[in-house]
Amino acid sequence: MTNFPRAGVIGNPISHSLSPKLHGHWLRRYGIAGSYEAIQVKEDALQDTLRSLPEQGFVGLNVTLPHKVAVMQLADQLTDRATLIGAANTLTFKDDGRIFADNTDGYGFLENLRQGAPGWDAKAGPALVFGAGGAARAIIVSLIEAGVPEIILTNRTRPKAEALRADFGARIRIVDWVQSGTMLSDAATVVNTTSLGMRGGQEFRVSLDGLRSSAVVTDIVYNPLRTKFLDAAAEKGCTTVDGLGMLLHQGVPGFERWFGKRPEVDDDLRRAVLA
């Protein structure tokens, strides 16, 4: 048992995770005696791991793929947001042994947008969201909470978009993936939540020709930082926000709960995480 608080990130695989750099930078910056570790956990070892880590001095964890849904069953207390999204990314181990589960992805998404596009107004008009996977769930919940009047949702596999509308309600309008370009002129906010544009993968090919220059455009892909999707939007005169900040901001609530200091997201941190 250590005499300083330990935290970490669990997933499988885990070596690619940037969270150790993120939290490690904050621990150093604020001179906090604590640790943050990457822990590879196989699916069948999840329950035992969650029960044994608190005994080893762990005060909490970030959770990444493939465990974000499974940890919901193992937690004792869920935030409304985690329940609504159906997944958790931040766990806190309470002194009484209970596990508290939250989802901060939507918070990270909104904070990134607010920091990167200070004039962004959720209520300015519809949001066009590409993709209906796990990330889209958190982002849609946060956009609805922020007061976006309508979400135009488009996904290659339409039934997944329909499932999201069934969960999150009537403010969502679904359009076919091949028709999505025609919706651009309505959108005040445009979000890519798909993996398209990630280094080594397929490119985002929907033309952004119809985009209004007043739209704020953001991508959850951050490798590369400047995706073709963002470059195409910038060419139309839009304010663009890259996806790295979503990752950085989603870490803030966990760090504060575990280590007692609300950390800042700034250029120094971006450089440290990218180094």
Answer yes or no: 160 catalytic: no
In the chain, the amino acid numbered 234 is A
Instruction: Judge whether 7 and 16 are in contact, CB under 8 Å.
Output: no
Q: Is 66 in the site for ligand ATR (CB under 6 A)?
A: no
Compute how many residues bind ligand ATR; rule: CB under 6 A.
15
Nearest CA to 251 out of 105, 115, 116, 137 is that of 105
Considering the complex, what minimum distance in angstroms separates the CB of residue 192 from ligand ATR? 9
Q: Is 77 in the site for ligand ATR (CB under 6 A)?
A: no
Among positions 200-219, residues that touch ligand ATR (CB under 6 A) are: 202
Q: Is 131 in the site for ligand ATR (CB under 6 A)?
A: yes
Query: How far is 121 from 208, CA to CA, in rounded Å?
Result: 21
Q: Is 132 in the site for ligand ATR (CB under 6 A)?
A: yes
Output 53 or 206, the one with its CB closest to ligand ATR: 206
Residue 105: phi and psi, rounded to 5, are -65, -40
User: What does the angle CA 193 – CA 138 – CA 266 come to, to the nearest 5 degrees?
Assistant: 75
Which pair of tokens denotes residue 13? 């695989």
Query: How far is 72 from 91, CA to CA, in rounded Å?
Result: 10
Considering the complex, what minimum distance in angstroms separates the CB of residue 118 from ligand ATR? 27
In the chain, the amino acid numbered 94 is K
Instruction: Judge whether 143 and 151 are in contact, CB under 8 Å.
Output: yes
Of 21, 29, 114, 156, which one interacts with ligand ATR (CB under 6 A)? 156
Q: Is 62 in the site for ligand ATR (CB under 6 A)?
A: no
Query: How far is 152 from 163, CA to CA, in rounded Å?
Result: 14
By CB under 6 A, which span of 24-32, 71-79, 141-149, 154-162 interacts with ligand ATR? 154-162
Task: Report CA-CA distances (Å) from 19 to 151, 248, 252, 264.
Answer: 30, 8, 11, 15
Q: Is 157 in the site for ligand ATR (CB under 6 A)?
A: yes
Q: Is 224 in the site for ligand ATR (CB under 6 A)?
A: no
Of 134, 165, 226, 228, which one interacts with ligand ATR (CB under 6 A)? 134
Query: How far is 7 from 4, CA to CA, in rounded Å?
Result: 10
Output 32 or 246, the one with its CB closest to ligand ATR: 246
Which entry of 68, 123, 160, 236 is annotated as an active-site residue?
A: 68
Nearest residue (beta carbon) to ligand ATR: 133
Of 29, 160, 171, 228, which one interacts with ligand ATR (CB under 6 A)? 160
| Maximum Cα interatomic distance, the chain, rounded to a whole number of Å | 59
Q: Please return the burial class of 1, using the count of CB atoms within 10 Å of its CB with bins 0-12, 13-18 and 19+.
A: exposed
Output 29 or 156, the one with its CB closest to ligand ATR: 156
By CB under 6 A, which span of 10-18, 192-200, 209-217, 236-244 interacts with ligand ATR? 192-200
Q: Residues with catalytic annotation?
A: 68
Residues contributing to the site for ligand ATR (CB under 6 A):
131-136, 155-157, 160, 193-196, 202
